[in-house]
Chain A
Amino acid sequence: MSMGGRVLGLHLGLLVVLFALQFVLPAYHHGNIARIMVLASYAVGYNILFGYTGLLSLGHALFFAAGMYGMGLTIQHAGFTPAPALIVGIVAGALVAGGLALLALRTSGVAFMIVTLMFAQAGYLTILYFGEYTRGDEGFVIQQAQRVLWGVDLSDPTARYFAAWGLFSVCFLMSLWLVQSRFGGTLIAIRENEERVRMLGYDTYAHKLGAMVVSGTISAAAGAFYGLLFGYAGATFGSVQYSIFPLLWVLLGGAGTVLGPFVGTLFMFYLIDLSSGVTSAYMLIAGVALVALTLFAPQGLTGEVRRRLWKGLP
């Protein structure tokens, strides 16, 4: 099998395994994997900007929340059905990402982190400010009757799993295609040496703008699906910790690898879930695991696989 064939086989294999898992998993883990796939989609979006373009954003919760509220508010106040509401959520995320990119990409490095963080915080406070519509920090429920997509009740575990799998598959394959495309190659080159890429005649600003819009749109799609599948939209999802989560997931799984976001999300979810069963100091365990990984596998779990076993892994 050619290199490309092996890569495609590995990634499609993961999707096949995830698809098949729903028939064998017990109820609790079935629900968890559905949740993890949506969150991993968020991490996939984050990875495009951070892992492949080298831009560390601390404001991705803004895009996640834009998707969640774009979807949720139109269902709640405009009576939209899920399909158009999802589209509104995704478009809202794309617009917010584009707008923020125009401003934030005037900066770089630490300043970029701070600007994205500040805009996300402003977004969070905006959700609280318009509490009359958003119900602020309390949030609101998206009722079961409002979650029927083309006759399918998304509160049903099987339907939810399928929807989460569908979202993850699209984001995952798009990410795989993107990083192997000319556009993705340019992003990686920007990450490695932006000055040289510019010297070669590429418009690095336009590429970074594109990366941020794609990244924000995927994050928004994850936010919109999360709200719809689990029936709740709340300001917590726009808070700073939800900007940190995808960074952690991507770092753990392997920044700049297509598989990394999923591996990191899965690892972190079960690390917290299992360690919380052992001790109340489970965040300490999570912290120690993070430090250990940073020390012994600085490129993350998948990154380490690439370093040791499979050099060409995208």
Chain B
Amino acid sequence: MTKLIKGTSRRGALKTLAGAAAGAASLPLWARYAQAQSSEPIRIGFQQHSTGIGAAYGRWYGRTTEAAVKLLNEGGGINGRMIEIIAEDDGTDPKRGAEVVEKFANQHGCDVGFGTLFSHVVIGSAPRAGELKLPYFVVSEGHHVASGMLNRYTLQPGITDVKSQVQAMAPYVSENLGKKVTMIFPDFAFGHDHRDFFTAAIEEQGGEVLEQIAIPPSETSFTKYFPQIPRDTEVLYHVMVGPAVLTFVKELGEFFGEQGPEIFGFIDSLEAVDISSPGLEFLEGTYFWEGMPRYAQEDQSEHEKFYREAVGVDENGASVSDPSDVSTYAHMFGCWETLHIIKAGMEASGYAGPLDRAKLIEAVEAMGEMPESRAHPQGAKRFNGKTHQVFGHQHISRVENGRLVRVHTTSIDDTMYPDEVDYTTQPL
């Protein structure tokens, strides 16, 4: 699907008209934007998972992108030029993903590509982005960027990667929940990342993984795996994803009843799923990693509050227009922050058009500390220009009365690990 989001809604247009008189009074500012209106827009190709397994994420990534672009355009766009989002559905498929990247670069004349989440789509598309020299800003949380697998034109400046997330959980888990951990994970790359990174991290904290239980991807019933959980397990670590997760939680509850180990999971399992759904009662008292707390916390920052309202998310993390439409809140801020970084990079490099793409890459690589702000509502970030990966705070929440309540926030230092690549050595 090709969808043009010009960043102006009917309401926005009316507001603009109403403000016209005031605008005339501030002529220098107005004159600056008059130039903007006459310029070609900045075209950002949005590789959206509108269909396929990533559709729930794609829907919310779309809404977040729309809200961010509206805000940026109201603030004068980028270098005085409006932003135009050109969304193409990649079907959450790596083959179509690569085709969509080609379409952005060669047919739509996009300045950059942006917004991909699922790792296999990123990995399938990134080689083409590199060959076409299209700056490709992914919002994936995969370790593929920082691992050195991709190329100089692929960056992940708006969301942290799974390695840093998992590693940062280990100190809290070992100090507060227990040191003897059993892991249950899907038997594919996403699960293997958790297995490898967490096992190493918990051992560093003096803990150990007693058992690693890999669940085949096609599995629909889990009860037969639970007897493999050693009796002296103190913490059960789970990262099941996909439609079977509700069955997984229900069967886990039936297996343990009231007496079970502490349970720690990644919210990826339950993104876009209401925690108070029938069958999920067993999650009460269990812990989750969250990239950004879904439920508005008592101490939420003014920036987060602004972001939540702008995207149209209520204090329970659902759409303001439909309380049953739960957002992918722990991830979608990445779109908002990435778009602000694209703007900052383009303005720092004086970006004027596709010929300046290399300068844009260098400008983003030069970024470092990013303080918490309206542009970074999830919190402060630290970008590593060599590995093209950003690092930031992680949150741990506990389910209390059917709500996720934040109990811990890691430091950025907790999430850091040694560089595995230096993309700046690759030619532009």
Contacts and interface: CB of A to CB of B under 8 A. Distances in A.
B7 interface: no
B131 A138 contact: no
A35 B218 CA distance: 31
A70 interface: no
A65 to B, nearest CB: 13
Contacts of B93: 236
Contact of A236 (B94, B128, B144, B187): B94
Interface residues of A, number: 36
Looking at B1, B2, B89, which has the most chain A CB atoms within 10 Å of its CB?
Answer: B1
Contacts of B32: none
A138 B144 contact: yes
A231 B95 contact: no
Contacts of A140: 123, 149
A136 B89 contact: no
Given A232-B98, A236-B94, A137 B188 contact: yes
Contacts of A28: 102-103, 106-107
Nearest to A147: B127
B188 A131 contact: yes
A276 B105 CA distance: 17
A27 interface: yes
Nearest to A128: B188
Interface residues of B, number: 39
Contacts of B149: 140-141
Contact of B127 (A26, A230, A237, A279): A230
Contacts of A35: 99
Nearest to B154: A141
B126 interface: yes
A31 B1 CA distance: 20
Nearest to B192: A131
Contacts of B189: 131, 135-138
Contacts of B102: 28, 31-32
B106 A26 contact: yes
B188 A139 contact: no
Nearest to B96: A272
B217 A283 contact: no
Interface string A269-303: 00001001111101100000000000000000000
A54 B359 CA distance: 57
Contacts of B150: 141
B286 interface: no
B106 A137 contact: no
Contact of A136 (B50, B144, B151, B192): B192
A283 B51 contact: yes
Quick one: which of A32, A131, A135, A232 has the most chain B CB within 10 A? A232
A311 B303 CA distance: 72
Contacts of A231: 127-128, 131
A28 B104 CA distance: 9
Contacts of B6: none
B50 A280 contact: yes
B95 A276 contact: no
Interface string A124-163: 0100110110011111111010000000000100000000
A132 B120 CA distance: 15
Interface of A: 26-28, 31-32, 35, 125, 128-129, 131-132, 135-142, 144, 155, 230-232, 234-237, 273, 276-280, 282-283
